[in-house]
Amino acid sequence: MSLVLASAAGYSLLLRFGRNVRVLFLSDIHGNLEALEACLAAAPRHDVVVNLGDSVGYGANPNEVIDRVRQLGNIFVRGNHDRACAGLTDVRGFNYIAAAAAIWTNRQLSPSNLEWLKSLPLGPIFLPELPDLQLVHGSPRDEDEYLLLPDDAAASAAHARVPITFFGHTHMQGCFRITDKQQITYHPRYSSNRDQAHWDFPIENGGVHLINPGSVGQPRDGDWRAAFALYDSERKTVTYYRVPYDVETAQKKIMDANLPERLASRLQFGR
């Protein structure tokens, strides 16, 4: 397992922003420009942006999404679709739909964006100014591991060197809290799945927290709205967000690109 230190372009977050740092977490954008722009428009004040991987794959705007996230900062973890779309791994490990999208994406990428994808670092990544957290795509022990069940989260938490891990990959917004005595799963509670909404989650002392901000561009938790999260380092609070976006335009772009129809239809249902 690699150990990567990131310092946000060489400057200290704490020196710039004082004791408290507000971190905007984006993950699994998957080439969905409409969802990304909706999240950014709804995002509250923040000091730094962290991207937990899979900026591309599935959606029809890989170059536009990469250009946009590169403008936001330089703290990234590579995802499995980032690797595949960059040609670093064989797409035969993917299902047919994911493989077709990865091949299409690779052919669309500009030379600059292709090289950028290839250069993304393997997690876990550590921020020296925020020593109690780490950044991964899949899990603390394997960038491709899916943390879907409490038992899997507990096994992976044993490999965490810090109490808070932010991860993506599953497209499921929520948190696992692992202690010596219990394994608890938390999912945000929203009153509906139509409007913009948020849910505050306080991080308790003790144990290990594995936190997923959800997928910006292709949620799979039954909620079609784009997902992201904000971490407040002083309050030790994660605020989860869901945001409506222009699904119809994202779907039309996928169909116009002759990508598999399933990639468009699933956006409507968050599956």
The percentage of the chain sitting over the pLDDT mark of 70, rounded to a whole number, equals 93
Q: What is the pLDDT of residue 11?
A: 41
Q: Is the dihedral of CA 81, 86, 89, 93 positive or negative?
A: positive
Extract long-range pairs of 155-161: CB within 8 Å, 24+ residues apart: 156/210, 157/208, 157/210, 159/1, 160/134, 160/208, 160/210, 161/124, 161/134
> Which residues of the chain carry a pLDDT beneath 50?
1-3, 7-11, 14-15
Asked if residues 117 and 77 have their Cβ atoms less than 8 Å apart, the reply is no
pLDDT at 10: 35
Cα pseudo-dihedral 64, 68, 69, 70, rounded to 10:
100
d(CA 101, CA 94): 10
Q: What is this structure's pTM?
A: 0.92
Please write the tens of the pLDDT for every residue from 25-34. 999 999 999 9
How many Å apart are CA 159 and CA 194, to the nearest integer? 38
Q: Distance between terminal CA atoms of the chain?
A: 31
* One-letter amino acid for residue 31 of the chain: G
Residues 69-101 have pLDDT tens digits of 999 999 999 999 999 999 999 998 899 999 999
Q: What's the confidence (pLDDT) of residue 181?
A: 85
Instruction: Kindly report the CATH number that applies to the domain delimited by 4-260.
Output: 3.60.21.10
Q: Check: CB of residue 173 under 8 Å from CB of residue 214.
A: yes
User: pLDDT, tens digit, for every residue of 187-220?
Assistant: 999 988 899 999 999 999 889 999 999 999 999 9
**pLDDT at site 6:** 54
Buried b (16+ CB within 10 A) or exposed e, 201-225: bebeeebbbbbbbbbbbbbbbebbb
CA atoms of 79 and 39, how far apart (whole Å): 20
So what's the pLDDT on residue 193?
Answer: 87
- C-alpha 108/C-alpha 86 separation (Å) is 11
